[in-house]
Structure 1
C-alpha cells in the first residue's frame, strides 16, 4: 500500500472497531510499527483520529465521512436490523423519505416488496434498487451531486423537499449525541435535513450506535426535534437514561 491507501485503511478500520492497536494495524498491513505511527500522526494532524496508549481511536469531532462504498462495508448486522425495523413503521399509502446512506438503503430493501407507497430520496443507490418496482411511486430530489456519497445535497434538493408533504422521514447521520444533537461535517447536507424537519409529519433518526458520541462542525437540530430514534442496543447506559429522560421515543434493537 502507498501511504494514502494505508491512511484510508486505518481510518476505515477505526470507524469499524472504534479502538485499534498499533500492533494489529501493523500486522494487517504488513508494515512496521513505526510506519503505522507515522500514518496515525498524519491522520491526527488532520483531526480524524486520536492517539491513545498503544493504539488509536476515532476523534469525537468528525472532520470527514467515509465514502459510500467504504461505509457499506461496516456494521452490516446493525444496519440490516435497523432497516427491517424501520420499514415496519411505514403504513400503506404513505409518502416516505429515505435520506442518503447505507442504513436507509436497508430500509429500501424491505420497502421494495411493499405496495401503495411513494418513496422520495436523494440517494442514487436507493433509486436504482427501487427502479424496477413499478408498484412504487418514486421521486428523486435532484440537486448538487455528491460523488463520494452517491447522493444529492444543497439548496436545490432542499427546495424540492419543501414542495412536498412527507408522512414519515427516515433521517441518517454520521454523528449525533445529546450535547450537539444531529450534526454533520458537510454544510450542504444541513439544508436537506432541515427541510425535512419542516415538511415531515414524523421524523425518525436511523443510526447504529457507532455514530453516537461523535459531532460534526455543522449543527442540524437538537435531538428533541426528532420523533423517534431507531438504533441497536449498544448505546452507553448513561445515554439511554438521558434519552429517556428527555422524552425521546428510542427503539433499541437487540441483535
Structure 2
C-alpha cells in the first residue's frame, strides 16, 4: 500500500470509529508506529484528524466528506435502521425528496415498493435504484455534477427545487449540532439544501449520531428550521431532549 492509499485507509478507519490508538492502526496496517505517526501528521496538516495522547480522532471541523463509495459501509446498520424509520413516515400519493447520501439511499430502499409516489432526488445512485420500480414517478434535479458524491449541486439543482411543492424532504448532513446548526464543507450544497427548507412541508434530517458535534465551513440553517430528526441510539438522550425542547420531533433508532 503506497502512502497516499494508507492515509486514505486511516482516514476511513478513524471515520468509522471516531477515535483509535496508534497501536491499533499499526497492527491493522502491519506497519511501524513511526509510519503511522507520519501519516497522522499529514492527515492533521490537511485538517482531517486531530492527534490525542496515544492515538487520533476525527476533527470536529469537517474539511472534506468521504467519497460516496467510502461512506457506504460506515455505520451501515445505523443507516439501515434510520432508513426504515424514515420510510414509515411516507404515505402513498405523496411527493417526497431524497437528498444525496448513503443514509437517504436506505430511505429509498424503504419506500421503493410504496404505491403512487413521486420522488425527487439529486442523487444518481438513488435515481438508478428507483428506476426499477415503475409505479414511482421519478425526477432528478440535474445541475452541476459532484462526481465524488454522485449527485448534482449548485444553482441549477436549487432552481428546480424552488419550483416544487414537497410533502416530505429527507435531508442528509455530514455535520450538525445545536450550536452551529446544519453545515457542510461544500459551498455548492448550501443552496440546494436551503431551497428544500422553503418548499417542503416536513423537513426531516436523517443522519447517524457520528455526525453530531461536527461542523463544516458553510452554515446551512439552524436545526430549528427542520421539523424532525431521525438518528441512532448513539446520540445522547440528553441531547435528544434538548432538541425536542427546540420543537423538533426526534426519533432514535437502533444503535451507533
Query: How high is the TM-score relative to the length of structure 1?
Result: 0.98
- Give, in whole Å, the separation in 1 of the partners of 2:97 and 2:172: 11
Alignment of 1:160-199 (within 5 A): 160-199=160-199
SS class of match (1:6): helix
Listed as ranges, the gaps of 5+ residues in structure 1 are: none
- For 1:33, the equivalent position in structure 2 comes to 33
Runs of 4+ more than 3 Å apart:
none
Alignment of 1:146-225 (within 5 A): 146-225=146-225
- For 2:128, the equivalent position in structure 1 comes to 128
Alignment of 1:1-255 (within 5 A): 1-255=1-255
In the TM superposition, residue 170 of structure 1 has moved relative to its aligned partner by: 0.1
Quote the RMSD (CA, aligned, Å).
Answer: 0.8
In the TM superposition, residue 244 of structure 1 has moved relative to its aligned partner by: 2.3
Query: How high is the TM-score relative to the length of structure 2?
Result: 0.98
Instruction: Tell me the alpha carbon deviations over residues 188-213 of structure 1, each in whole angstroms, 9 at most, x when there is no partner.
Output: 00010000001111100000001000
- Give, in whole Å, the separation in 1 of the partners of 2:133 and 2:223: 34
Listed as ranges, the gaps of 5+ residues in structure 2 are: none
Instruction: Tell me the alpha carbon deviations over residues 182-238 of structure 1, each in whole angstroms, 9 at most, x when there is no partner.
Output: 000000000100000011111000000010000000000000000000001111244
- Give, in whole Å, the separation in 2 of the partners of 1:254 and 1:9: 27
- Give, in whole Å, the separation in 2 of the partners of 1:107 and 1:183: 21
- Give, in whole Å, the separation in 2 of the partners of 1:246 and 1:96: 24
